[in-house]
Structure 1
Amino acid sequence: MTEVNEDQAPQAVKAAPDVAALEQEGEIAADYLEGLLDIADLDGDIDMDVEGDRALVSIVDIKGSDLIGENGEVLEALQELTRLAVHRRTGERSRLMLDVGGYRQGRRVELSKLGAKAAEDVKRSGEAKSLQPMTPFERKIVHDAVAAAGLRSESEGEEPERYVVVLPA
């Protein structure tokens, strides 16, 4: 009989997300965002959902791009403020994802295509390819697209200049 050393024991299975807690995060975020919309005198509806292990909150039916900003910078800041509001109420760190006017969904499609194209280029050339700096959200989508194409990728650099490098097989 073989002894199992505790250091060799399999990693604990990742716990299933607490959907009720994620829904609560979404509700807190929605209340916070509704208050901000009122203060800014902006009209918009708020949708909430849970995807995987994070709450998703979207401001929909909003006119203009003031809440998105150039390259999503205002959206990123608004997401961080919303996460802080959730943390203040729950005491727990939030991984909530905020979208405004479908911006993130559109970026997801664009970045998936970018990652797949970069993977094709690397397969063809056999040389690593560095991409432009991206936010953590954007890098994650590119990493997923590269992995789906059967290659590896890494993030390099320091924020806010962190970027993805697609590596040959």
Structure 2
Amino acid sequence: MTGSAPELAVDGAGASDEHASSDETAGTEDRRLSDLELEGEIAADYIEGLLDIVDMDGDLDLDVESGRAVVAVVGEGLDKLIGAGGETLEALQELTRLAVLQKTGTRSRLMLDVGGHRARRRVELRKIAIAAASRAITRGEPEKLAPMTPFERKVVHDTVAGIDGVHSESEGEEPGRRVVILLG
């Protein structure tokens, strides 16, 4: 009987450690989700203040997608917050990320969308990526796309990753950084 007691204790300790590790992982994931939700709330407060200053109306939707906080401003007449080619939106996103950094001390990967611009742009970019990949395959040579924002390049890279026979790389420096679609 005494010979089996230490074995049971070891087995019990191992199971307990394994369970504790699982609990720690769940706790870390919960904490990360809570951190992302906090980022979204800070960003929403910042954007609300901005909307008040520029006297614009918009509803704010907060979400967490793919490990990042997402804040969407929904409403009519928000084009000035998007700007030509989304340049104003990119600047607002960076300012919002800085507001989150100031409050939390942590760099944010927050995604800001205004008036559904990013969702519409995502659809356009997927079409562009598919067409460019097709041209690269047909011509047998690399296809260089126009300079894009980091958001736009990521959409293109993700799309190209799902197409057989091609892959993509980024080249150049901001603001002229672009995607090149290569065979292979």
Give the TM-score taking structure 2 as reference length: 0.82
- Residue 50 (structure 2) pairs with residue 24 (structure 1): no
- Unpaired runs of 5+ residues, structure 1, are 1-14
Matched letter for residue 153 of structure 1: S
Counterpart in the other structure of 1:166: 181
Displacement after TM superposition at 1:35 (Å): 0.6
Counterpart in the other structure of 2:90: 76
Counterparts of 1:86 and 1:136 in 2: how far apart (Å)? 19
Greater RCO, 1 or 2 (C-alpha within 8 Å, sep 6+): 1
Picking from 75, 79, 89, the partner of 1:61 is: 75
Instruction: Percent identity, please.
Output: 61
- Is the CA contact 1:143–1:154 (under 8 Å) kept in the aligned structure 2? yes
Moved over 6 A (4+): none
Q: Which of the two has higher C-alpha Rg?
A: 2
Counterparts of 1:135 and 1:56 in 2: how far apart (Å)? 17
Counterpart in the other structure of 1:121: 135
Counterpart in the other structure of 1:34: 48
- Is the CA contact 2:56–2:78 (under 8 Å) kept in the aligned structure 1? no
Matched letter for residue 126 of structure 1: G
Matched letter for residue 154 of structure 1: E
- Unpaired runs of 5+ residues, structure 2, are 1-27
- Aligned residues between the structures: 155
Pairwise mapping of residues 128-147 of structure 1 onto structure 2 (< 5 A)?
128-147=142-161
